[in-house]
Amino acid sequence: MALGAQPHNEAGIIQPLPSGLTAAFTLKGVRQVKDGMTVLDGIELDIPHGAITALVGRSGAGKTSLLRLLNRLDDPVSGDIVYRARAITHYPVQELRRHVGFVFQTPVMFPGTVRDNLQAALTLGGAAAPTCVLTHADAERRVAAAMALAELDGTLCDRDGDRLSGGQKQRVNIARALMTSPDVLLMDEPTSALDPETADRLMETTRRLSQEQHLTVVMVTHRLSEARRTSDMTIVLERGRVVAMGRTTDVFENTTNPRIRAFLETER
Amino acid sequence: MPPFVESAAMVSRSILEVSWVDLAWAGGLMLIAVGISHWQKLGLAQRLVIGAIRTVVQLMLVGYVLVYIFALDRWYLVGVALLGMLLVATKAAVNRQFRASRTLLMITGVAMLLASGLTLLYISTLVVRVTPWYNPQYLIPLFGMIVGSAMNAAAIAAERLASEMAARTAEIEAYLALGTTAQQASQQPVRQALRAALMPTVNGLMVVGIVTLPGMMTGQILAGASPLIAIRYQIVVAFMQAAAVAITTAIVTLWYRRTFFTSALQLKVPTHAAAA
């Protein structure tokens, strides 16, 4: 069992998964090296299914590096990652990525309209793409559904992607990731480029998606208030190690380690 | 064909020989270039002099080698000459790269071998119908022009692909994260690289004879050939260069692209997003 282990000598609160939650991802002894530097070391954790997990920590703590492992944008140098009771490397990588969507920190718009951007998720993907069984009407329905889920105004469908606001672009990126009907959505600081009000609305959307679609969300954020309000679980990383992990309320309220506590209170 | 054109086509004017003294006079033109560099303090005078000396030495050597190969008239010597040209061109194309590697050297070499070899085979058997099949008087200049174009195309294609892949990491990873193939994720960089490498050839075809008089055609005319013969050769050269460029570009771009991805469809160029 990954949980219960003490991954760091000076760890804060380390809780097992709350009862009733099963693990979507389990990481065991994960180590990652980039440009000769160890960015993740001895990572042992469970990420619950159907809940929102926030990954927090200072810059360079390894948050994004950890997130990128979960849909194999990168592979770790050592350790095991299990997704739904099966080693992540045992899934065909394209299939895995269609189940585990990724929303990047800076939204990326593909050439064309919003519709083109969303349909790209259906038409691209080789053998993993469902185009062969989708009619035009089906594709249109899925575009409309994804836009509704991401709370995008339907009239934007024919708008050129480059002519949207930052918040709208990020919602298009979320809608595009939802086009493949993923079980998991990985979000890398999705609100970092947005104003606080737009960021709050996006977090409300994320919350609703997780609840209504039973979507597992793993979200990197540097806004601790965002983690506190939106997530069910919080994992605190420090210099590539897990130093606190558990229910968000417990991590924020009951952490006693003074250094971690000071970090968690930086925004208050 | 009108009679005067017919007779003009038949005329083979004697060639005016350029003596060593004449060459020395031509060297005076280099002095003008060196003088301007010195006057404007460009710091290029020394390099211009070295360049001029290299031009004389390299061309003299090539001249003697060609005389030797023509005189001996052996197929294997022609083969060695063509192979040497291919190797030098491959090395030159790769040396111009920011990301030069052994893999790129191999890709460029194979691409240029296939493109130049197939084009030369096509031209020498179907179009010019060279006899004997290894006739160095035809094969060496034709191959030189093919390889020269292929070399430039390979260099542009590889350089452009590498720079586009580096500039578009976010876009490529966004595609990959949706479960696309590496081919789909890199379609924009590939398209840009193909266009960039083919564009000089396309532009060349558009303006040939109007803005530029190609070197080979000019050379044939200077050597006394009828302009009507010279243009036919030039048309052949333009088409064979276009084919060689297209084949080289396609092979280099599509093969080189594969080296940017792991077998797990991960991008190998450093990503801006990996810092946090």
Nearest residue of A to residue B170 by CA position? A108
Within 8 A of A96 by CB-CB distance, chain B residues are 179
CB A117 within 8 A of CB A178: no
The strand pair at A241-247 and A233-238 is best described as antiparallel
Q: What is the pLDDT of residue A10?
A: 58
Q: How far is B166 from chain A (nearest CA, A)?
A: 15
Q: Do B180 and A68 touch (CB under 8 A)?
A: no
Among B81, B111, B79, B82, residue whose Cα is nearest residue B94? B111
State whether residue B167 sits within 8 Å of chain A by CB.
Answer: no
Within 8 A of A188 by CB-CB distance, chain B residues are 273, 276
| Range B270-276 average pLDDT | 38
Q: Is the pLDDT of residue B217 over 90?
A: no
Six-digit token string for A259: 């250094």
Q: Is the pLDDT of residue B8 over 70?
A: no
Q: What is the pLDDT of residue A48?
A: 95
More confident residue, B3 or B245: B245
Give me chain B's average pLDDT, please: 89
Q: How far is B175 from chain A (nearest CA, A)?
A: 8
Give the Å distances, CA to CA, from B175 to A73, A78, A152, B24: 11, 26, 21, 62
Q: What is the pLDDT of residue A11?
A: 64
Query: What does the alpha-carbon distance between residue B81 and residue B99 come to, in Å, rounded to a whole number?
Result: 29
Longest CA–CA span in chain B (Å) reads 80
Q: What is the pLDDT of residue A5?
A: 43
Within 8 A of B179 by CB-CB distance, chain A residues are 94-98, 124-125, 128-129, 180
Q: Is the pLDDT of residue B100 over 90?
A: no
Q: How far is B254 from chain A (nearest CA, A)?
A: 17
Name which of A30-34, B166-170, B208-212 the model is least confident about. B208-212
Best to test chain B binding among A97, A174, A187 (most B CBs inside 10 Å): A97
- The interaxial angle of helices B20-39 and B45-72, nearest 10 deg, is 150
For residue A237, give the 3-state DSSP assignment: strand
CB A97 within 8 A of CB B177: yes
Strand ranges across the sheet with A52-57: A100-103, A184-188, A216-220, A52-57, A233-238, A241-247
| Range B49-73 average pLDDT | 93
Reported pTM: 0.85
Burial B117-130 (b: 16+ CB within 10 A, else e): bebbeebbeeebeb
Query: What does the alpha-carbon distance between residue B155 and residue A16 come to, in Å, rounded to a whole number?
Result: 56
φ and ψ at B243, to 5 degrees? -65, -45
Q: What is the pLDDT of residue A133?
A: 59
Query: What does the alpha-carbon distance between residue A60 and residue A91 come to, in Å, rounded to a whole number?
Result: 29
Q: What is the pLDDT of residue B125?
A: 94
Bridge partners, residue A244, by sequence? A236
Q: What is the pLDDT of residue B68?
A: 93
Q: How far is A212 from chain B (nearest CA, A)?
A: 22
Give the Å distances, CA to CA, from B58 to B55, B61, B63, B64, B70: 5, 5, 9, 10, 18
Among B202, B64, B224, B93, residue whose Cα is nearest residue B156? B93
CB B263 within 8 A of CB B55: no
Q: What is the pLDDT of residue B272?
A: 37
Query: What does the alpha-carbon distance between residue B161 and residue B166 come to, in Å, rounded to a whole number?
Result: 9
The strand pair at A184-188 and A216-220 is best described as parallel
Write out the DSSP string of A146-192: HHHHTT--GGGGGSBGGGS-HHHHHHHHHHHHHTT--SEEEEESTTT
Query: What does the alpha-carbon distance between residue A189 and residue A168 come to, in Å, rounded to a whole number?
Result: 15
Bridge partners, residue A46, by sequence? A26
Q: Tell me the average confidence (pLDDT) per consecutive run of 10 residues in chain A, 268 residues long.
A: 44 79 94 95 95 95 96 97 96 95 95 93 68 74 90 91 92 93 94 86 90 93 92 95 94 91 83
Among A74, A77, A163, residue whose Cα is nearest residue A117? A163
Nearest residue of B to residue A178 by CA position? B178
Among B17, B28, B88, residue whose Cα is nearest residue B58? B88
Q: Do B273 and A105 touch (CB under 8 A)?
A: yes
Q: Find where tokens 């420090």 sit.
A: A238
* CB-count burial class (<10 Å; 0-12, 13-18, 19+) for A6: exposed
CB A12 within 8 A of CB A250: no
Six-digit token string for B221: 């005319």
CB B131 within 8 A of CB B73: no
Q: What is the pLDDT of residue B215?
A: 83
Q: What is the pLDDT of residue B269?
A: 67
In sequence order, the 6+-apart residues with CB closer than 8 A to the CB of A206 are A52, A174, A185, A187, A190, A217, A219, A230
Of B179, B274, B276, the CB nearest to A94: B179
Q: How far is B99 from chain A (nearest CA, A)?
A: 17
Q: What is the pLDDT of residue B6?
A: 52
Of B170, B177, B181, the CB nearest to A126: B181
State whether residue B174 sits within 8 Å of chain A by CB.
Answer: yes
The amino acid present at A187, given as its one-letter code, is M
